[in-house]
C-alpha cells in the first residue's frame, strides 16, 4: 500500500513535467497544424541554460534558493522563448504554405541540429545539474519517502498550467490565439496579426518547456544534449493521448503517461520504460485517433 502511494506521487510528479511539455506541442499544433519535433530539444536547451545560470544566480543571491530559483526560472524561460521564436522565424515561417511533409522534415532537421549542435557547444558527456530545490522530505517513514522536490514539481506545474489557462481563455492575446487556431484567414481579416500570434504561441510553449526542463533536471540531475529526445517524444504521445489541440487533454495525457511509466518501471521492468509510451500511442491511434478529449476532424476534398 505504502509503495503504491510512493509510485503514485512519483508518477504524478513525472506526469506533470510531461504535461508541461505536452502543452507546448498541443498549442503549436493547434495554431500551425504540425508537430514541432524540435520542442523536446528546446526543453534540453532549457536544462543547459539552467545549468550555466543557476550557480551564478545562487551566488548572487547569497545562497538563498528561495530567491534564486524563481530568477533562474525566469531567465531560462526567456532564453527558451528567444530560441523558440528564432526557430519559428528562420525554419518554419517560409514553409507555412508548403506540404505538411516538408515542414515535418524541417522540424526533424531542426531537432537534430539542436541535439548535435548541443553536443558541440555543451560537450557530449553528462553534467550534474545544480541543486535548485532544497533537499529534504515532507513525508519520511520506513516505506514512503516523499521528497520536497516531487511536491515542488507538482505545485509549480499546476500553477503554470493555471496561468496558461488564464492567458488562453481570459486575455485578449489568448482570444486571438484561439481565433487563429480556428481559422487563419478569417482571423487575419478581423485585424489579428498572424505572425505575432504565432510568435506568442512559441513563447508560451517554449517557456513551459523551460520550466519543465528545470523541474526535470531537479528530479533527474544528470543532463546531456540528447536528454530532450525521450521526454519530448513521450510528451508528444501525451498530447495525442489527450486529444491534440486540447489544453486539458494535454495535461491529462501527461499525467496518464507519467503514472503508467512509473508503474511499469516499478512493478514490471525498467528496461521497458521507453517502449511503454509508444505502445500507448499505437493503441490510442488504433482505437480513438482523436484522443480522449479531442474531436474528430473529417477531411474534405
Partner 1 sequence: MRVHKSIIFLASAVTVSFLAMLFENRLNPYYYQIAIYVGINIILASSLNLINGFAGQFSLGHAGFMAVGAYTSAVITTELQIAGNSILYAPIFALALLSGGVVAAIFGLIVGIPSLRLKGDYLAITTLGFGEIIRVIVQNLDFLGGARGFTGIPKISNFFWVFSITAVLIFLIRNLINSTYGKAFLAVRDDEIAAEAVGISSTRVKVIAFVTGAFFAGMAGALYANFVTYINPAQFSFLKSFEIVVMVIIGGMGSILGVILSAILLTILPEALRSVAQYRMVIYSLLLIVIMITRPRGLFVLPRFGKHKILSKSGM
Candidates 18, 34, 200, 202; binder of partner 1 (CB under 8 A) is 34
Candidates 2, 140, 222, 279; binder of partner 1 (CB under 8 A) is 279
Separation CA 153–CA 212 (nearest Å): 9
Candidates 94, 140, 175, 270; binder of partner 1 (CB under 8 A) is 94
Q: Which stretch binds partner 1 (CB under 8 A): 2-10, 74-82, 96-104, 150-158?
A: 96-104
For 39, 56, 169, 175, 179, the CA distances from 172, given in Å and listed in that order, are 25, 37, 8, 5, 11
Site map (CB under 8 A) of partner 1, residues 232-271, x = contact: -x--xx--x----------------------------x-x
Per CB under 8 A, 119 contacts partner 1: yes
* 8 A C-beta contact, residue 229 and residue 37: no
Question: For residues 59 and 275, which CB has a smaller minimum distance to partner 1 in the complex?
Answer: 275
Side-chain half-sphere CA neighbours of 134 within 13 A: 9
Candidates 137, 192, 248, 274; binder of partner 1 (CB under 8 A) is 274
Separation CA 30–CA 95 (nearest Å): 17
* 8 A C-beta contact, residue 211 and residue 73: yes
The grid cell for 295 is: 474531436
Per CB under 8 A, 41 contacts partner 1: no
Per CB under 8 A, 126 contacts partner 1: no
Q: Which residues bind partner 1 (CB under 8 A)?
A: 34-35, 91, 94-95, 98, 100-102, 104-106, 108-113, 115-117, 119-120, 233, 236-237, 240, 269, 271-272, 274-275, 277-279, 281-282, 285-286, 289, 299, 301
Amino acid at each position: 500500500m505504502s509503495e503504491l502511494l510512493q509510485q503514485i506521487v512519483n508518477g504524478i510528479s513525472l506526469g506533470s513535467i510531461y504535461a508541461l511539455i505536452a502543452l507546448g506541442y498541443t498549442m503549436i499544433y493547434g495554431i500551425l497544424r504540425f508537430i514541432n519535433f524540435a520542442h523536446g530539444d528546446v526543453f534540453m536547451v532549457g536544462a543547459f541554460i539552467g545549468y550555466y545560470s543557476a550557480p551564478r544566480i545562487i551566488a548572487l543571491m547569497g545562497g538563498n534558493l528561495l530567491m534564486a530559483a524563481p530568477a533562474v526560472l525566469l531567465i531560462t524561460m526567456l532564453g527558451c522563448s528567444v530560441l523558440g521564436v528564432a526557430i519559428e522565424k528562420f525554419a518554419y515561417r517560409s514553409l507555412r504554405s508548403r506540404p505538411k511533409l516538408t515542414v515535418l522534415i524541417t522540424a526533424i532537421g531542426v531537432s537534430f541540429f539542436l541535439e548535435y549542435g548541443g553536443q558541440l557547444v555543451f560537450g557530449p558527456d553528462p553534467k550534474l545539474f545544480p541543486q535548485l530545490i532544497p533537499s529534504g522530505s515532507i513525508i519520511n517513514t520506513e516505506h514512503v519517502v516523499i521528497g520536497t522536490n516531487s511536491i515542488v514539481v507538482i505545485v509549480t506545474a499546476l500553477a503554470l498550467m493555471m496561468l496558461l489557462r488564464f492567458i488562453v481563455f481570459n486575455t485578449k492575446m489568448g482570444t486571438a490565439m484561439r481565433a487563429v487556431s480556428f481559422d487563419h484567414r478569417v482571423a487575419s481579416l478581423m485585424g489579428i496579426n498572424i505572425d505575432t500570434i504565432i510568435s506568442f504561441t512559441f513563447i508560451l510553449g517554449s517557456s513551459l518547456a523551460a520550466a519543465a526542463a528545470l523541474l526535470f533536471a531537479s528530479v533527474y540531475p544528470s543532463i546531456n544534449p540528447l536528454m530532450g529526445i525521450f521526454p519530448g517524444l513521450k510528451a508528444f504521445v501525451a498530447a495525442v493521448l489527450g486529444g491534440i489541440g486540447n489544453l486539458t487533454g494535454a495535461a491529462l495525457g501527461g499525467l496518464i503517461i507519467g503514472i503508467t511509466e512509473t508503474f511499469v518501471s516499478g512493478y514490471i521492468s525498467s528496461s521497458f520504460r521507453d517502449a511503454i509510451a509508444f505502445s500507448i500511442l499505437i493503441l490510442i491511434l488504433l482505437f480513438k485517433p482523436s484522443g480522449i478529449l479531442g474531436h474528430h476532424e473529417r477531411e474534405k476534398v
